[in-house]
């Protein structure tokens, strides 16, 4: 156990708190607030033979009663506070559970792990798809985008080792965890770097060349793409883009490298 857990069984504490509610209230919480796929107010109304507004009232009162346990002091409040502090901005759920094992135990009254019950009640953080974020996953994505824009080079390439996004108790896994988080957001990650601009062929090619640091053939560049593009379409894009210089019959470089442009055999003979 760690920090706010204080040796207590969080799942047992939640079961005791839920025992103060009637069965209908517990059922509404279980199927709407804590469920993987929540039922609608109408569905719960039909299930219990009441109106959707009545279900809303039951949910609000029951949730408010449980909130008192995590906001008003006491063991559950200490656990909630410890979870907030440990998550930081972004932390893998697996890592949080390793630090606070009792969050992984099942709250029998609702058939869900304690972390999901806590997440359903505490708006200070959000847990979804194996990730924890403060205050929400959307805000964590915003923080991620801002940091990438700040630390990426002019071609949209940022090194994973220079990013400070993930909280973990295993620093040796930080690079892999950062890569996993970025891939979840849809970024292209390779060779310990993240490519933030891959929407166009030119942007993607510029990023690839920036990473390799030396001229590449058109086929070599295309082979690095995660989406299909023809060599011909790439060559056309490179020849029309001022960021690139053709430095051999079929090798391309970034113009900023200052390499001599390929003139072609006819031009050489003419000279």
Residue 6 has pLDDT above 70, yes or no: no
| Predicted confidence (pLDDT) per residue in 83-133, tens digit | 999 999 999 999 999 999 999 999 999 999 999 999 999 999 999 999 999
Distance CA 202, CA 243 (A): 9
Q: How confident is the model at residue 2 (pLDDT cuts 50, 70, 90)?
A: very low
Residue 267 has pLDDT above 60, yes or no: no
Q: What is the DSSP letter of 33?
A: I
Q: Given this model, what pLDDT does residue 73 score?
A: 82
**Rounded mean pLDDT, 249-271:** 78
Distance CA 126, CA 136 (A): 5
For residue 172, the SS3 value is helix
In whole numbers, what is the pLDDT of the chain averaged over residues?
Answer: 93
Q: Given this model, what pLDDT does residue 72 score?
A: 78
Q: What is the token pair recorded at 107?
A: 């709250």
Q: What is the token pair recorded at 240?
A: 């029309």
**For the structural domain made of 201-257, what CATH number should be given?**
1.10.10.10
Among 134, 118, 115, residue whose Cα is nearest residue 126: 134
| Predicted confidence (pLDDT) per residue in 178-192, tens digit | 999 999 999 999 889
Over pLDDT 90: what percentage of the chain?
90
CB atoms within 10 A of CB 218: 21
Q: Given this model, what pLDDT does residue 8 score?
A: 64
**Can you give the residue ranges of every domain in the chain?**
3-135, 138-195, 201-257
Distance CA 98, CA 125 (A): 18
For residue 19, the SS3 value is coil
| Predicted confidence (pLDDT) per residue in 199-254, tens digit | 999 999 999 999 999 999 999 999 999 888 999 999 999 999 999 999 999 999 99
Q: How confident is the model at residue 269 (pLDDT cuts 50, 70, 90)?
A: very low
DSSP 207-238: HHHHHH-S-EEHHHHHHH-SS---HHHHHHHH
């Amino acid at each position: 156990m760690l920090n706010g857990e204080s040796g207590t069984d969080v799942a047992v504490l939640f079961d005791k708190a839920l025992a103060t509610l009637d069965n209908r209230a517990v059922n509404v919480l279980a199927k709407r607030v804590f469920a993987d796929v929540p039922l609608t107010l109408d569905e719960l109304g039909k299930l219990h033979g009441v109106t959707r507004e009545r279900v809303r009232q039951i949910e609000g009162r029951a949730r408010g009663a449980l909130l008192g346990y995590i906001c008003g002091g006491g063991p559950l409040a200490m656990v909630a506070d410890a979870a907030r502090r440990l998550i930081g901005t972004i932390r893998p759920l697996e890592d949080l559970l390793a630090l606070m094992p009792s969050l992984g135990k099942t709250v029998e009254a609702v058939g869900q792990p304690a972390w999901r019950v806590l997440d359903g009640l505490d708006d200070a953080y959000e847990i979804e798809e194996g990730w924890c974020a403060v205050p929400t996953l959307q805000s964590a994505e915003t923080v991620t985008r801002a940091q990438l824009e700040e630390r990426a080079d002019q071609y949209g390439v940022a090194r994973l080792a220079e990013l400070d996004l993930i909280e973990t108790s295993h620093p040796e896994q930080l690079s892999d965890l950062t890569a996993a988080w970025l891939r979840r957001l849809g970024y292209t990650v390779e060779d310990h770097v993240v490519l933030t601009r891959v929407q166009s062929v030119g942007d993607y090619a510029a990023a690839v060349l920036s990473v390799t640091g030396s001229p590449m053939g058109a086929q070599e560049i295309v082979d690095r793409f995660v989406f299909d593009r023809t060599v011909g379409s790439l060559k056309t894009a490179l020849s029309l883009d001022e960021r690139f210089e053709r430095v051999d019959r079929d090798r391309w470089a970034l113009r900023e490298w200052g390499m001599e442009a390929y003139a072609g055999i006819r031009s050489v003979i003419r000279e």
